[in-house]
Structure 1
């Protein structure tokens, strides 16, 4: 599938827009940090099998499988890059709500989201650079958009790390302020991102047919494989149904809004990659709600043991 126009699509953003997007991206990460608690990390070390194996599947195995998909199916380079970016992103808070609806182990979901969000400061840029470099098509695309590896690594770690550190400091030193800011900032950053991306997509509405024909099938397949990876990992470890539901949802739901913002901010608005991330953001909600609806009507099997004992529920 080479030579198609999707690799030439650019969601052009002026300098003011880039500045606004940077602020939105900082708000997203800051809001994520306000949700993190020490207990989430302590539980990972107390009962490590489920969360650590799930994190391995999410942060290491899925990016590798994604690279294999791009090598086997040969999507257009911008699509392949978008898939790699999404696979490299951490879990999103919406997975906690979906897990709760599915009657899964919400505490496990929260712990995995928290740890993956913190590790993403390093794992997200490293996974993008490493796997994109191993695919000749995406490697050429990175050179085309003038991505210098060390500069990308440093700037992305700063973009993710600084607001994360500020958010963690707020929670630690001013917990009441963190509690007051958490929900409004998350809602505000989400609305800003939707408005920003909606405007960019509206100006490129002529590419809708290309999205449906060339991108949506890869998004659906990619998400289905992530679902299978999460479920399969839990089954290999013989985890309880309670934990299996959480791991399946957590591995298959990524912070695609973060991926979309990174693509627009770091990859010159590469349209094919951006549309993959946007498509993921919609589709994983559909698949997640479908899984939750299926499992909600079925009691978790009692076999196995819950690996994370805390019984928090997602808000």
Structure 2
């Protein structure tokens, strides 16, 4: 059992409010690109979504729970891994799915419905999986984590802006279409900037565990991506659906997790650096995988998307 010797991450006054605003903008951006048809897709083609939600809500936290015993992590790093695994899918998954030639409509629908479910599932999931490990249970008890309070926080950061975005998309589709790319890229760049500033401001802490952190996050992220692909294969989904599933399960909204670390865990060092570095590495790893996938498909078929269009649900390509 590793003692937790990582100091708490310190951020400038007002930074937490700025982070929450950025996270709300991320959810607003997702909703601005979400149409009612994206929810209907789940009803008309439920199989991929059922596989994805089981992989995200059950398998990923379960596998992560096992990794906390296998990897040489501190107590707070273990809880940080569980926290990230319990976060909703990140909106960059749609960009990566499109880049790889995957099923974008499926990715959009899974992200839309998944985020609604995670508003209620995430606080319970963190409390449940965190309490199973004696090492992480001690931290939860020390901070007296209240799932109800976390639910309220998630409703404000995730639910409210998501609902507002859906309303704007329904009532002002033209405005939503123009605003989406601005909100999407601004919030993503702002999140990366926040993480970078936080890491630089706590450079000594970051460097002291850099080697271990890189190994842990790289392994954890690779397992998450592999779990998405593997469950899609076992579920008998087509190649384009496998690509969407890979990123839907493998890409997590670690920025939201980072916000929860500062709100409920006092910026606990191990949790914060895992969530922060995951938020950066997740994008890098996703871009590498999606680019290699697009190149391979282009070589085999002459197109990064194969024979099917990017928004269709069905179809298989080589």
Q: Deviations over 1:57-79 (max 9, x none)?
A: 12221112211222444621211
Matched-pair contact (CA < 8 Å) for 1:89–1:124 = yes
* Match for residue 309 of structure 1 among 288, 291, 312: 312
> Structure 1, unaligned stretches of length 5 or more?
none
Match of 1:70 in 2: 68
Please give the alpha-carbon distance, in whole angstroms, between the structure 1 residues aligned to 2:150 and 2:284. 32
* Match for residue 17 of structure 2 among 16, 19, 35: 19
SS state at 1:2 partner: coil
Match of 2:136 in 1: 138
Task: Report the alpha carbon displacement of residue 205 of structure 1 after superposing the two structures with TM.
Answer: 0.5
* Match for residue 173 of structure 2 among 172, 175, 190: 175
Matched-pair contact (CA < 8 Å) for 1:99–1:106 = yes
* Match for residue 246 of structure 2 among 245, 248, 266: 248
Q: Does 1:155 align with 2:158?
A: no
Match of 1:202 in 2: 200
- CA shift in 2, pair 1:202/1:153, >3 Å: same
Matched-pair contact (CA < 8 Å) for 2:3–2:75 = no
Match of 2:5 in 1: 5
Task: Report the alpha carbon displacement of residue 186 of structure 1 after superposing the two structures with TM.
Answer: 2.5
Matched-pair contact (CA < 8 Å) for 2:127–2:145 = no
Q: Does 1:228 align with 2:226?
A: yes
What's the TM-score once normalised by structure 1's chain length?
A: 0.87
Match of 2:283 in 1: 285
Q: Does 1:82 align with 2:85?
A: no
Please give the alpha-carbon distance, in whole angstroms, between the structure 2 residues aligned to 1:156 and 1:267. 15
Matched-pair contact (CA < 8 Å) for 2:71–2:216 = no
Task: Report the alpha carbon displacement of residue 174 of structure 1 after superposing the two structures with TM.
Answer: 2.6
> Which structure 2 residues correspond to residues 46-57 of structure 1 after superposition, within 5 A?
46-57=44-55
Matched-pair contact (CA < 8 Å) for 2:78–2:136 = yes
What's the TM-score once normalised by structure 2's chain length?
A: 0.86
Pairs aligned (count): 306
Please give the alpha-carbon distance, in whole angstroms, between the structure 2 residues aligned to 1:155 and 1:255. 15
- CA shift in 2, pair 1:227/1:26, >3 Å: closer
- CA shift in 2, pair 1:197/1:293, >3 Å: closer
Please give the alpha-carbon distance, in whole angstroms, between the structure 1 residues aligned to 2:151 and 2:54. 21
Task: Report the alpha carbon displacement of residue 280 of structure 1 after superposing the two structures with TM.
Answer: 1.3
Please give the alpha-carbon distance, in whole angstroms, between the structure 2 residues aligned to 1:280 and 1:20. 20
Q: Deviations over 1:139-196 (max 9, x none)?
A: 2112223423332233333332222222222222232332333222223323333333
Root-mean-square deviation over aligned CA pairs = 2.5
Q: Deviations over 1:240-276 (max 9, x none)?
A: 2222222122211112222222222332212211111
Match of 2:272 in 1: 274
Matched-pair contact (CA < 8 Å) for 1:21–1:265 = no
Task: Report the alpha carbon displacement of residue 14 of structure 1 after superposing the two structures with TM.
Answer: 5.6
Task: Report the alpha carbon displacement of residue 310 of structure 1 after superposing the two structures with TM.
Answer: 4.6
SS state at 1:247 partner: helix
SS state at 1:259 partner: helix
Match of 1:92 in 2: 90
- CA shift in 2, pair 1:97/1:121, >3 Å: same
Q: Deviations over 1:264-315 (max 9, x none)?
A: 23322122111111221222223222222332233389xxx99x8359xxxx
Please give the alpha-carbon distance, in whole angstroms, between the structure 2 residues aligned to 1:87 and 1:152. 16
Matched-pair contact (CA < 8 Å) for 2:26–2:91 = no
Matched-pair contact (CA < 8 Å) for 1:125–1:157 = no
Q: Deviations over 1:216-258 (max 9, x none)?
A: 2111111121122112111212222222222122211112222
